[in-house]
Structure 1
């Protein structure tokens, strides 16, 4: 089934003190594993491409210091594991802030797809609360806090397309051409830890360069051949997307995408998939590549400080 992903409408009205903050999705335009670091983590190289589509985080400051989850939260995620709550609690603890917050989420990014939903949600909480609580920590300190929550959080904090190394936290801003993307989610939640244990995973790729990527000579995702062999649904998506372009995998999840230079070409490809190429249970939709995160624009528009309730 092919569909434009529907938004799950949530009512967090501004007149009741709520503010809305974008949490954009990302794509990994390539992903190589170049070795193992002394700390035991794998060394990565990738390019993060931010999208103009994603989740929306809702925040309402509280004067009583409590950090609460409003609404249903992220489906299937317990409060103790909720990155939105963990981000707020970490920021509060690190700054000894007396304020609290209620947190709601309008979830669009599929979980386990490699589109960065949880990391982006956490980053939006850090960046937005820094503004709402009047903390003024600055980008570098917020990114350092984000890294404690997940390797992908810093790129969302900084809000710019980036060449990434290390575990994905060493970032160099990179200019990318305009593009539209056909995204597909086969609904498979792959275990990153299990994928890293696969004997078929290439962990010693030759280091790439930014110039090599920009010239089109750097491609591929180390996890793609492993997932395609392990997950028939992922292989089926690749086969379908190959009919309309060059399919690629994002991150270590099951999400796939095809890049197009313009919206019209992307729409034509999505229409072709609507003819029944995708398997039941697979969703497909379009998103535009962003020059920078819409979260940064939201921060610039919002006044510093807040009038907490509760």
Structure 2
């Protein structure tokens, strides 16, 4: 029996565009976006506890345990499945918080995926994704584990096959509260949706924009500076500056490139020209845990370390 899972990846996401197309009566905004997973990942570790305790080692500073998405995900799955086992969760963070890269949502999804295996629940992907939606609108896309065109509040997903790309991602030293951005009176809320047909071809997936970007740039000088630095780098590389944009509600901005060497050259050019952390990340064809979590072998990804042995609490 599995007693511990080590090195479970939780990949970041980019919103290749993000349109606000309306607002529901309950106040939630209607969105149109394309999610793409990238190989910038947090790493999670899980130890089975027989006594039913669910806890996290090294909690996030300023985040109460009841608000921690990994703990909430584990408790929700235990309650809905009737599982009486527990888990100790450890997270090695690499995805910046408040950057619009979906780190918290991805950590929650990886928790669901890993516990589906550790607790031997054998839930199918659709059932797990439905549960994930109760944790946040971004969580199901990580459970499904594929690039997707999304509508609704971000939960209606249609898989997309996108070409392999490399992204230069800038993480300014600032965290952007999502709620404040969506509450802004300056936010555009009536963007006309794109047509999904043709989004997989070339750079057509970037023909939209991020409607939240102008609000954030006006409020956050460091985001504005990072975006301008990336636009200058794009011009130097002979790439349209319009391809540089913000992901989610910020603060991270990104530039897509077709080849890894070109992305590394842009990163080198940015050295000393920005106070943002600069990362080169490749797109993923799928979540590294997706097949494994549902009991299917996958030779294309390194699997978590499954440690076997007696299962003791503590």
TM-score by length of 2: 0.88
Contact 1:179-1:260 at 8 Å conserved across structures:
yes
Is the aligned partner of 1:57 residue 2:38? no
Aligned positions, number: 292
Is the aligned partner of 1:278 residue 2:281? no
Correspondence for 1:234 = 223
1: distance between equivalents of 2:309 and 2:146?
A: 26
SS at match of 2:14: strand
Correspondence for 1:225 = 214
Q: Unaligned stretches of 5+ in structure 1?
A: 1-14
1:289 aligned to which of 283, 291, 310: 283
Deviation at 1:298, TM superposition (A): 4.9
Deviation at 1:308, TM superposition (A): 3.1
Contact 1:57-1:121 at 8 Å conserved across structures:
yes
2: distance between equivalents of 1:112 and 1:260?
A: 24
2: distance between equivalents of 1:150 and 1:305?
A: 33
2: distance between equivalents of 1:73 and 1:241?
A: 33
Is the aligned partner of 1:256 residue 2:253? yes
Correspondence for 2:73 = 87
Give the root-mean-square deviation of aligned CA atoms.
Answer: 2.0
1: distance between equivalents of 2:120 and 2:92?
A: 24
1: distance between equivalents of 2:161 and 2:78?
A: 34
2:113 aligned to which of 94, 115, 127: 127
Deviation digits for residues 158-189 of structure 1 (CA, Å, limit 9, x no counterpart): 00000000110100000011100111111221
Correspondence for 1:28 = 15
1:309 aligned to which of 304, 307, 312: 312
Q: Unaligned stretches of 5+ in structure 2?
A: 235-240, 298-302
1: distance between equivalents of 2:311 and 2:108?
A: 21
SS at match of 2:233: coil
2: distance between equivalents of 1:94 and 1:288?
A: 35
1: distance between equivalents of 2:214 and 2:177?
A: 15
Correspondence for 2:238 = none
Correspondence for 2:88 = 102
1: distance between equivalents of 2:114 and 2:218?
A: 41
2: distance between equivalents of 1:67 and 1:180?
A: 37
Is the aligned partner of 1:174 residue 2:170? no
Deviation at 1:306, TM superposition (A): 8.4
1:187 aligned to which of 155, 167, 173: 173
Which region of structure 1 is more displaced relative to structure 2, 20-29 or 190-199? Answer: 190-199
Contact 1:52-1:293 at 8 Å conserved across structures:
no
Deviation at 1:210, TM superposition (A): 1.3
TM-score by length of 1: 0.89
2: distance between equivalents of 1:32 and 1:306?
A: 49
Contact 1:131-1:304 at 8 Å conserved across structures:
no
Which region of structure 1 is more displaced relative to structure 2, 228-237 or 192-201? Answer: 192-201
